[in-house]
Amino acid sequence: MRRALELAAHGPATGVNPQVGCVLLDATGTVVAEGWHRGSGTPHAEVDALSKVDTAVGLTAVVTLEPCNHTGRTGPCSEALVTAGVERVVYAVSDPGPTSAGGAARLRDAGLDVIAGVLAAEATEFQRAWLLATKLGRPFVTVKWASSLDGRAAAADGSSQWITGTASRQRVHEQRAANDAILVGTGTVFDDDPSLTARGDAGELLAEQPLPIVIGERQIPGTAKLWDHPRGVLETGSRNLEEILTWLFEQGIRRAFVEGGPTLASAFVAAGLVDEYLIYLAPKLLGGDRLAIGDIGVTHVGDARELRITAVEHLGNDILLVARPMTEAGH
């Protein structure tokens, strides 16, 4: 199963489909084939592995996710495993999808031996974003901000470039590329005129670009840099975050990166719609009232939004804190 998870990581992290890996074993436990999913419209991991053997009769399939049981752009993996003559299927995590789930039951009905939950915790953590998005019916939301040690996102005159150093800024570009969409408010577009592209060290465009989404009721200027974005730009014309996220999920967006300033970040936090926080801290003191986060509905310290820090990383002279809510959304 650990090998299957390694294979799964070869697949794209963005897009509608999960990252899935599959290992086929013979009766002696020897690996005879491996496969992984390479993106929407390509063979799923199980089918990819099956295509590499002359016969799969009597084999065991070890898969990171319960084999799907529906026909989308490809056929159901459960049927492919049954037809191929696989004897046993071992998987880590159940598929939470309302249409794709049910593969385990189909396999058992066909007489296959099915074992679930192997390395479930590791596989759930690996696929956390996709699993949570599928369960909630909205994209996995990451909120990012950069601030001084005293929590300021800008100086008294409004200047904010650059609070953090080059290493932090490059990491942000990599994180942009790891998401399907990047969300900003109209205020950020009017005030900062960002390009919101994902760029490399030399300023070149990375292969993966998030779709810019502008949240707010105002139309952005025709001269905004966002109109030159390689993916174009989508204006929501709305501030209803839950409706926007539901619609984005329906459009195939599974990972949303919020990089829109204190107003938008605070709105997501207040609404309880944040699944992951990326907080860049620069060893600077700015003072003043330009806080990285504004009112989130907390009036008493006992009502504070409790977070759990999952990683700490040094980037040059800065620190990146990765955190998540103590209570996962949907639990």
Task: Give the SS3 label for residue 323.
Answer: strand
Judge whether 23 and 62 are in contact, CB under 8 Å: yes
Cα–Cα distance measured from residue 259 to residue 262, given in angstroms and rounded to the nearest whole number: 9
* C-alpha span between 15 and 8 (Å, rounded): 14
Alpha-carbon distance of 42 to 20, in angstroms, equals 12
Q: In this structure, are residues 225 and 193 in contact, taking their beta carbons and an 8 Å threshold?
A: yes
Would you give the distance in Å from CA 211 to the centre of its chain? Answer: 14
**Bridge partners (DSSP) listed for residue 65:** 93
Burial (CB < 10 A; 0-12, 13-18, 19+), residue 192, is middle
- Residues 111-150 as b/e (b if ≥16 CB within 10 A, e otherwise) read ebebeeebbeeebeebbebbbbbbebebbbbbbbbbbbee
Q: Which residues are catalytic?
A: 46
